[in-house]
């Protein structure tokens, strides 16, 4: 326990996200898209927060109206609250997409050659990344804060691997949000609604799989498989291909 | 905008804050209070842009009109450029302000979470005499409202006093007041802060070392803030004193009073800056009428380059066009109330109070930057710090308030770019912050806690 667990779990949870940020967003500080959409993440974080707020409101109201003593009912309400939250997140992602489209059009109008200086794909990527980071942070920060202090994990019979599995789940979630952002925006752009549906379904599935915790084999492994598949899908959607990888690796 | 402006000339390029519609002859007029200040494009700006011959790549039409004599061009061509540059300009400034605001909040939150002293209740300020230890909710609410009324009246009185002093040209008095306040902050409060931090971490320190450290810190701070110093050091000092002030408020304001005061002060800020008879607005207008720079204000500026006192041979070559330069902090400030009345820091930007505008050598150069009053820093940090201190050990609330404040700041800057005049920086951010604090603390926290206890992810 203590600092080692804290730094380890923080690194696991946010390492990939940090690497992505450093390599893509911060590496090109003069890029126009940095200028135009500053505050990496702030509006998107705001949108995510609002969606969380609404979902919590719904859950809170439903809990108040229900019988507190019934544990099964409470658990059911929790599941319901989680599902509502997932749906709201996707709705707000869509709303953010609409907002970006409008801003993009505005920028294209006033720019010199009628094109917006930022591509929608970049916006999708940054938006997905920001959603992921804020979602991950909210999920795991209290856990990380507790991991510094004294204590014994799972002393009441819960799993002793709580911290590390939480960190891995957070990492998967951050990456998933990034991929979903890319796929989602592309699907909205090209009006492929089945893609949209798939994204929402996979989000619900991921969230649902976490209900199988603490049976980590049943939850972590499938989630990582989903992450990998979604990553491949996002890569293909963003225009990548095997040839691109080869070109990139041979540093042409 | 900075990139554009810098392309055409050397680094002595006088990149200035755009000021909106200020007359060409107006010299830097830093307002006394703090506030959010943006320099907007105005006539002078347009002329200046052309004068400097910046490569205005986006709009080729303007290129044809490029001349150094500042002949006004077709406004329509300018309009487009203005808009785009406003956006880019605005976006860059948003980032430039986010970093210091974030740093200040981080310092405050880190201190609150680690040093017990600032969360212990050890009495109250004399401005909030009513105690909140009563048992009944109604009584407690009444007390906090009364505390707020007293505090806000003190602030209003101080502001009006300041405006009067300025109107009747009692500059020495104001200077002395500012210096005294910054002395107190830099030495006394830092000493207390350092003492508490050392106590928390159980580090032994002898008095001679302490004296040396505090003396150096304070002396360099005074010089940086009131006279000259490297920009980043100045910014760092301003952030530190804002954080110290915010910590004092967090410690000595009782809980409910703090929230009501935050709400009331954003309303006051709104009125003082926007109403025609608001004290801060009058201050700015007086300064503009007199065409003289006011003193060092409690303002954080994101980009300043002071090359005061340097003879600039090439500026002489620019001739009369130099006069259109409305450099420096201009009237576009949001004035923050003088809660700094009792502890004011001044950030000296104008070494020479009355600078004849035609003296080219003494013109100060500034990069484009945005200015935010220190009071805004302080109240943002108070909000986040209070959230960190009282939200039952929860980090989600702190984070939510933090995001809310940044979003509010972003919106305010957006409005600034649209309206091009001084705007209060507090109302939007504080409103969002308060809304998010109460909703996150009461709604989101139980939800997230319950989810985390089952290790569910959404």
Q: What are the extents of the domains in chain B? A: 116-303, 391-457
Q: Specify the pLDDT at position B341.
A: 33
Using the beta-carbon criterion (under 8 Å), do A139 and B444 form an inter-chain contact? no
Residues 6 or more apart whose Cβ sits within 8 Å of residue B310: B361
Q: Do B404 and A35 touch (CB under 8 A)?
A: no
Yes or no, beta carbons of B92 and A46 under 8 Å apart: no
For residue B84, the model assigns a pLDDT of 59
% chain B with pLDDT above 70 = 63
Question: What is the ipTM metric for this complex?
Answer: 0.89
Phi-psi region of A151 (alpha: psi -120 to 50; beta: other; left: phi over 0): left
Comparing CB atoms, the residue among A56, A110, A139 nearest residue B443 is A56
Closest-CA distance of chain B to residue A247, Å: 33
Which among A111, A138, A165 has CB closest to B396?
A: A138
Summarize pLDDT for A53-94 with one digit per residue, the tens: 999 999 999 988 887 778 888 888 899 999 999 999 999 999
**Greatest mean pLDDT range, A103-112, A117-126, B263-272:** B263-272
Nearest residue in chain A measured CA to CA from B400: A49
Distance from CA of B96 to the nearest CA of A (A): 10
Q: Kindly determine whether residue B410 and residue A39, on different chains, have CB atoms separated by under 8 Å.
A: yes
Q: Cβ of B157: how many Cβ atoms within 10 Å?
A: 12
| CA closest to B394 among chain A residues | A142
Catalytic residue among B34, B326, B330, B376: B376
What pLDDT does B8 receive? 36
pLDDT of residue A215: 79
The pair of structure tokens assigned to B455 is 């290790």
pTM: 0.77
CA distances from A143 to A129, B394, B396 (A): 21, 10, 11
Q: What does the mean pLDDT of chain A come to?
A: 84
Low-confidence stretches of chain B (pLDDT beneath 50)? 1-73, 297, 305-367
Q: How far apart are the CA of A128 and the nearest CA of chain B, in angstroms?
A: 15
Per-residue pLDDT at A121 = 80
Structure tokens at B186: 């830099």
Chain B residues with CB inside 8 Å of A210's CB? Answer: 455-457
Q: Is B289 on the interface with A (CB under 8 A)?
A: no
Tokens matching residue B321: 């066009």
Tens-place pLDDT, residues B22-51? 323 333 333 333 344 333 333 333 344 344
Q: Is B269 one of the annotated active-site residues of the chain? A: yes
The answer to whether the Cβ–Cβ distance between A78 and B450 falls below 8 Å is yes
Does residue A35 carry a pLDDT above 80? no
Of B92, B94, B458, the CB nearest to A85: B458
Q: In angstroms, rounded to a whole number, what is the distance separating the alpha carbons of residues B97 and B299? A: 12
- Cβ-nearest to B443 among A60, A110, A173: A60
pLDDT of res. B276: 85
* Residue in A104, A82, A101 with CA at minimum distance from that of residue A93: A101
pLDDT value of position A155: 82
Helix (H) or strand (E) holding B318: helix B313-318
Can you give the pLDDT at residue B398?
93
Task: Say yes or no: B92 contacts chain A, CB-CB below 8 A.
Answer: yes
Per-residue pLDDT averaged across A127-156, rounded?
A: 87
Banded model confidence at residue A3, pLDDT cuts 50, 70, 90: confident
């Amino acid at each position: 326990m203590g600092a080692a667990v804290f730094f380890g779990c923080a690194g696991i949870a946010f390492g990939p996200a940090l690497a992505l940020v450093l390599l893509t967003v911060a590496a090109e500080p003069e890029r126009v898209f940095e200028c135009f959409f500053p505050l990496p993440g702030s509006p998107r974080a705001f949108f995510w927060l609002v969606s969380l707020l609404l979902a919590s409101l719904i859950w809170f109201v439903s809990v108040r109206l229900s019988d507190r003593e019934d544990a099964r009912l409470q658990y059911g309400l929790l599941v319901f609250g989680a599902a509502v939250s997932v749906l709201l997140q996707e709705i707000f992602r869509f709303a953010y997409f609409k907002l970006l489209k409008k801003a993009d059009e505005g920028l294209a109008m006033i720019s010199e050659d009628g094109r917006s200086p930022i591509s929608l794909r970049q916006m999708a990527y940054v938006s997905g990344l920001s959603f992921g980071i804020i979602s991950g942070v909210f999920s795991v920060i209290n856990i990380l804060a507790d991991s510094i202090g004294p204590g014994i994990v799972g002393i009441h019979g819960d799993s002793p691997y709580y911290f590390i599995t939480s960190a891995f789940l957070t990492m998967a979630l951050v990456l998933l949000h990034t991929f979903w952002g890319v796929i989602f925006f592309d699907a909205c752009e090209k009006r492929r609604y089945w893609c949209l549906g798939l994204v929402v379904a996979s989000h619900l599935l991921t969230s649902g799989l976490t209900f199988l915790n603490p049976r980590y084999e049943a939850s972590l492994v499938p989630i990582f498989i989903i992450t990998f598949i979604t990553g491949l899908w996002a890569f293909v959607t963003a225009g990548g291909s095997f040839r691109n990888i080869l070109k990139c690796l041979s540093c042409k | 905008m900075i990139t554009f402006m810098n392309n055409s000339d050397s680094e002595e390029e006088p990149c200035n804050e755009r000021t909106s519609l200020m007359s060409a002859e107006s010299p830097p007029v830093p307002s006394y209070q703090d506030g959010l200040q943006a320099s907007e494009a105005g006539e002078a700006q347009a002329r200046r842009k052309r004068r400097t011959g910046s490569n205005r790549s986006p709009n080729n039409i303007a290129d044809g009109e490029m001349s150094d004599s500042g002949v006004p061009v077709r406004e329509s061509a300018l309009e487009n450029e203005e808009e785009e540059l406003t956006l880019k300009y605005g976006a860059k400034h948003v980032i430039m302000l986010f970093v210091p605001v974030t740093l200040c909040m981080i310092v405050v939150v880190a201190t609150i979470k680690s040093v017990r002293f600032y969360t212990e209740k050890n009495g109250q300020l004399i401005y909030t005499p009513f105690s909140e230890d009563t048992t009944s909710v109604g009584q407690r609410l009444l007390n906090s409202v009364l505390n707020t009324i007293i505090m806000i009246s003190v602030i209003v009185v101080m502001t009006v006093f300041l405006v009067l002093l300025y109107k009747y040209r009692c500059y020495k008095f104001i200077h002395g007041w500012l210096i005294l306040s910054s002395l107190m902050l830099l030495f006394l409060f830092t000493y207390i802060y350092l003492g508490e931090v050392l106590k928390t971490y159980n580090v032994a320190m002898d008095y001679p070392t302490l004296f040396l450290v505090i003396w150096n810190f304070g002396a360099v701070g005074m010089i940086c803030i009131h006279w000259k110093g490297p920009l980043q050091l100045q910014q760092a000092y301003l952030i530190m004193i804002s954080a110290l002030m915010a910590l004092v408020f967090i410690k000595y304001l009782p809980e409910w009073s703090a929230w009501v005061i935050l709400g009331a002060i954003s309303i006051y800020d709104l009125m003082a800056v926007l109403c025609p008879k608001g004290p801060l607005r009058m201050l700015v207008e007086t300064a503009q009428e007199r065409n003289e720079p006011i003193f060092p204000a409690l303002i954080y500026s994101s980009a300043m380059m002071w090359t005061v006192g340097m003879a600039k041979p090439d500026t002489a070559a620019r001739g009369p066009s130099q006069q259109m330069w409305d450099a420096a902090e201009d009237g576009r400030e949001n004035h923050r109330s003088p809660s700094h009345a009792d502890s004011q820091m001044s950030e000296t930007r104008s070494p020479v109070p009355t600078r004849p505008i035609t003296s080219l050598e003494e013109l100060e150069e500034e990069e484009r930057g945005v200015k935010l009053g220190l009071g805004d820093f302080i109240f943002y940090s108070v909000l986040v710090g209070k959230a960190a201190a009282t939200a039952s050990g929860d980090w989600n609330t702190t984070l939510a308030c933090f995001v809310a404040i940044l979003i509010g700041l972003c919106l305010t800057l957006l409005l600034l770019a649209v309206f091009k005049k001084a705007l209060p920086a507090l109302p939007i951010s504080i409103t969002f912050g308060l809304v998010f604090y109460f909703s996150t603390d009461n709604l989101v926290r139980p939800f997230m806690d319950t989810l985390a206890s089952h290790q569910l992810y959404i």
